[in-house]
């Protein structure tokens, strides 16, 4: 029973982001993505992910982003809960390895609150994990997040919030 659950979690972690991308549609033609705030005013996209050929796509520019955003938020919240729960080091390694990719981080980037929680927890895991592999993969997650911030700074010539 535990083995089956582990296999389902492993499959979900490995394949869910690809499923999100396939259901998100095509990137919009406009390069300057804007979104409508609650007050009805338009504001510039704060995601800050570069949209060039050598960088990952900004998921918020996909045509079906409003529909897929909630699924992405659920995925990242559940991933956070999985990282916070006492699981085997092998499962932590698998989760950290899959969420540390630039493509995975691009789906996390628009979710500011969840991103902040994951960064704080990854910092704690990096400092206190019992095994070297988990600490290393946690550091990889943090380093790739820092690279995303640096890309945003290069693209916007201003620090993202």
* pLDDT tens readout for residues 130-155: 899 999 999 999 999 998 888 765 65
pLDDT in tens, 60-93: 888 888 888 998 999 999 899 988 888 788 888 8
Residue linked to tokens 């995925």: 75
Judged by DSSP in three states, 35 sits in strand
Q: Which residues contact 145 (CB under 8 A, 6 or more apart)?
A: 105, 115, 119, 122
Residue 30 pLDDT: 56
Residue 39: Cβ within 10 Å count: 6
- Per-residue pLDDT averaged across 92-109, rounded? 89
Rg, Å, the chain Cα set: 16
Question: For residues 12 and 62, what is the distance between their CA atoms, to the nearest angstrom?
Answer: 22
pLDDT band at 1; cut points 50, 70, 90:
low
Specify the DSSP class assigned to residue 161.
-
Residues 50 and 151: beta-carbon distance below 8 Å: yes
Residues 108 and 76: beta-carbon distance below 8 Å: yes
Which pair of tokens denotes residue 127? 């400092």
Residue 93: Cβ within 10 Å count: 17
HSE (side-chain half, CA atoms, 13 Å) at 116 = 3
- Per-residue pLDDT averaged across 10-20, rounded? 81
Question: For residues 136 and 124, what is the distance between their CA atoms, to the nearest angstrom?
Answer: 12
């Amino acid at each position: 029973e535990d083995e089956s659950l582990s296999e389902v979690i492993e499959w979900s972690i490995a394949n869910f982001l690809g499923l999100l991308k396939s259901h998100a549609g095509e990137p919009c033609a406009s390069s300057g993505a804007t979104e409508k705030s609650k007050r009805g005013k338009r504001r510039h996209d704060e995601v800050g992910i570069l949209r060039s050929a050598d960088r990952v796509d900004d998921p918020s520019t996909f045509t079906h982003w409003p529909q897929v955003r909630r699924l992405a938020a659920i995925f990242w919240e559940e991933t956070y809960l999985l990282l916070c729960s006492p699981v085997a080091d092998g499962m932590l390694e698998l989760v950290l390895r899959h969420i540390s990719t630039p493509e995975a981080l691009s789906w996390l980037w628009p979710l500011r609150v969840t991103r902040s929680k994951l960064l704080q927890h990854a910092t704690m895991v990096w400092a206190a994990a019992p095994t070297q592999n988990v600490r290393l993969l946690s550091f990889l997650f943090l380093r790739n997040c820092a690279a995303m911030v640096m890309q945003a700074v290069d693209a916007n010539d201003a620090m993202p919030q």
